[in-house]
Structure 1
């Protein structure tokens, strides 16, 4: 993979940008699925201005709070990655399930990557360092599932999660859960049926 090095303006930090982040490597099935899902979601946003309605807006706002704030920030990040506080198991599993719906990966993968990120912050082994470039640290790391293994090895830092049947089950069935939520929202009338352009 070819790299270019450049200095961030008004800073002494040198950033390495991978030129062939998409086309210069072999994609596995997970990479393709993530790419297709993200591309589809962003293409669908082109229809958003002409199909706006308040019901869909509030569903999106609530889902942001549930998946982003409760799922990723509170569960995946503060609770599972850093063990910042304790929760009863039922609440722990509920909040982790909210994170599953955010489409950022299953808890074992996300937590492992984040623990490695803190262990190797801004070094060559950091799985999503900004030193690899803004877009890579922001989102491109999601599309290259093998890259993390190349940098840090297997997920040996999440034994606490692997011991629990719940997290192993979510790992094996990960993509079914966001798909089920999409079908449920569609059946409740919050999906494409609300969009005049689709009727």
Structure 2
């Protein structure tokens, strides 16, 4: 039996991240109910809000995962002076950074300026607290349960159906129309041949 803790329940796995990225590439950034449907199982379900937050706060390709540069720090400090407290607006000015990253970085800059030790902050704040959508995914378990494997295979099957039911129906209708046209051409050609042979 696999031991699952409360911390694991909301954590994102690498497999879920992969499914989310492929689903967003297929459906776009506005189909969150449809995307969250792919990430559901009997025990764990990712809500539309969780999927959206995970994408915009961690997985989106435009988000930088590198260390902050001095230039970015200066841009952030200037932006906070101009628009204090408007973190979404500020994040737009610091290209590639999310609002939560800007808040966290600004807080660290303030702490560094006031001489507060990071070790003290870590003791005051339990490690692991905070939004799970903003943290790295935990690694996938090798010994996946049957229901998790089924969820992943269903999600992959849904994602591999690139056209969807409407697309498949349109292709079939087009093929049927082409078949009708070919049949009508064949009937017309046969009728013309019969008329020529009678003459």
- TM-score w.r.t. the length of structure 2 is 0.25
**Bigger Cα Rg:** 2
Higher helix residue share: 2
